[in-house]
Amino acid sequence: MHNSDINRLQLLSEDELQLRLTRLRDLMSSADIDALLISSNANIYYLTGRVFCGYIFIPLAGMPVYAVRRPSVLTGTNVEYIRKIEDLPLKLDCGFASLGVEMSSASYTTVCRIQKAFGNNISYVNASGILAETRSVKTDFEIEKIKVSGIKQTALYERIPHLYQPGMRDIDLQIEIERAARREGCLGQFRINGDDMELFMGNVLVGDNADSPSPYDFAMGGAGLDPSLPVGADGSLIRPGESIMVDVNGNFTGYMTDMTRCFSLRENLSDKALTAHQISIEICSTLAEMGHPGVEAKLLYEKAFSMAQDAGLENEFMGHRQHAGFVGHGLGIEINELPVIAPRSKSVLQAGNVIALEPKFVIPGVGAVGIENTYIVKADGPMECVTHAPRQIVYFE
């Protein structure tokens, strides 16, 4: 950020803002929403290029109003300072009949305060869906940020073999990966949609710890180091014959990429594990070829599952003791955006979707194998991969 920009509230260019607003307003019209009130950090960032504490009011036509609580120094057109939500109606032209609010993320009490502040004469609509839908199609500017994250995350993954020292436990390796990620420019923050999802910087799973079910709706689990955060590395020693699956934070630009790679000490994983890893690579390639605009997301899941099934690996697909119900997910500002690549997904792929595909297998006695890549859905041609580390298992010794 240039110093001259530091206090400018709106960091998006006018063209970029209009691209995003136009798409959002088309969906507002379809949903009969006259005006939107945005309060989540993720959507405030989407609509300004920065996080602030406050609200963005977006009428169907006309300029948005930026109602700021903190920081106290932001400037720009239509920037208004408020102390609390109840101050907001006085700052606005309230001639709208329906107000869209992020009801799926804002707390019950926050939504009730909004309803009380704006009164009973208008209707309130859950706008979380149209915001998710808008954000699921990335602009060129957003795709550029995602590509930069992909390049940096790739550089990080290529350093991983050099971070291993004999005698390391999973957590020891993870800590060195975390440090290398931060030194590469990783911002650390791992934005997840949904209150009950928690993860710190990502997941390093060694051996049978990959088969420990977790409470979270991630593709893989792990027992974790403490029951207050039961996911990921559990202190297992890294041993020959077991896999090391690395799936760590790709947030280098405010936009995330998601990449998973597997490592092992020596070339002595079981044939079943090696086969499963190869199938994962093939599923990614096949799905990338299939992933054109207009294709139903669920067809990608079905194809992935049938390829696992053909290999006799359906019981190990997306987990063994506990199975994840998806093989891919949209991502961007948050790690879990639309579309979801799942059996009952209603999504249809659109150009500009950014999707992580993670066909993974848990092989008892070996651990987790498979890869994950982040792809861009293109107007024509196959999906474009932006996470470029070598796909084969990399051996440390």
Q: In the complex, which residues of this chain contact its own copies (CB under 8 A)?
A: 1, 6, 11, 39-41, 45, 49-54, 69-73, 101, 103-112, 126, 128, 171, 175-176, 178-179, 182-183, 185, 187-189, 195-196, 198, 200-201, 212-217, 221, 223, 225-230, 253-254, 321-322, 333
The answer to whether 308 and 279 have CB atoms below 8 angstroms apart is: yes
* Cβ closest to its own copies, residue 74 vs residue 307: 74
The answer to whether 171 and 204 have CB atoms below 8 angstroms apart is: yes
Shortest CB 134 distance to its own copies, Å: 18
DSSP per position, 9-72: S--S-HHHHHHHHHHHHHHHHHTT-SEEEE--HHHHHHHHSS--EEEEEEESSS--EEEEEE-T
The encoded tokens of residue 128 equal 């979380």
* Cβ closest to its own copies, residue 126 vs residue 275: 126
* Cβ closest to its own copies, residue 54 vs residue 330: 54
- Whole-number Å distance between alpha carbons of 30 and 74: 33
- Name the β-bridge partners of 67: 55, 80
Based on its alpha-carbon atoms, the radius of gyration of the chain, rounded to whole angstroms, reads 22
* Cβ closest to its own copies, residue 105 vs residue 347: 105
384, 389, 393, 394 alpha-carbon torsion, rounded to 10°: 170
Shortest CB 386 distance to its own copies, Å: 18
* Cβ closest to its own copies, residue 253 vs residue 374: 253
* Cβ closest to its own copies, residue 240 vs residue 325: 325
Provide the 8-state DSSP code for 89: G
Shortest CB 68 distance to its own copies, Å: 8
- Whole-number Å distance between alpha carbons of 160 and 154: 10
Shortest CB 28 distance to its own copies, Å: 19
Handedness of CA 125, 98, 55, 135 (dihedral sign): positive
The answer to whether 221 and 319 have CB atoms below 8 angstroms apart is: yes
Shortest CB 120 distance to its own copies, Å: 17
* Cβ closest to its own copies, residue 18 vs residue 107: 107
* Cβ closest to its own copies, residue 254 vs residue 359: 254
Shortest CB 70 distance to its own copies, Å: 5
- Whole-number Å distance between alpha carbons of 239 and 371: 20
* Cβ closest to its own copies, residue 204 vs residue 371: 204
Helices (H), 164-270: 170-183
Please choose, from the candidates 169, 145, 281, 297, the residue with its C-alpha nearest in 3D space to the C-alpha of residue 233: 169
Shortest CB 374 distance to its own copies, Å: 18
Residues recorded for the chain? 397
Please choose, from the candidates 377, 363, 145, the residue with its C-alpha nearest in 3D space to the C-alpha of residue 270: 363
Shortest CB 358 distance to its own copies, Å: 18
Task: Provide the 3-class DSSP secondary structure of residue 262.
Answer: strand
Shortest CB 241 distance to its own copies, Å: 21
The answer to whether 76 and 8 have CB atoms below 8 angstroms apart is: yes
* Cβ closest to its own copies, residue 14 vs residue 195: 195
Shortest CB 106 distance to its own copies, Å: 6
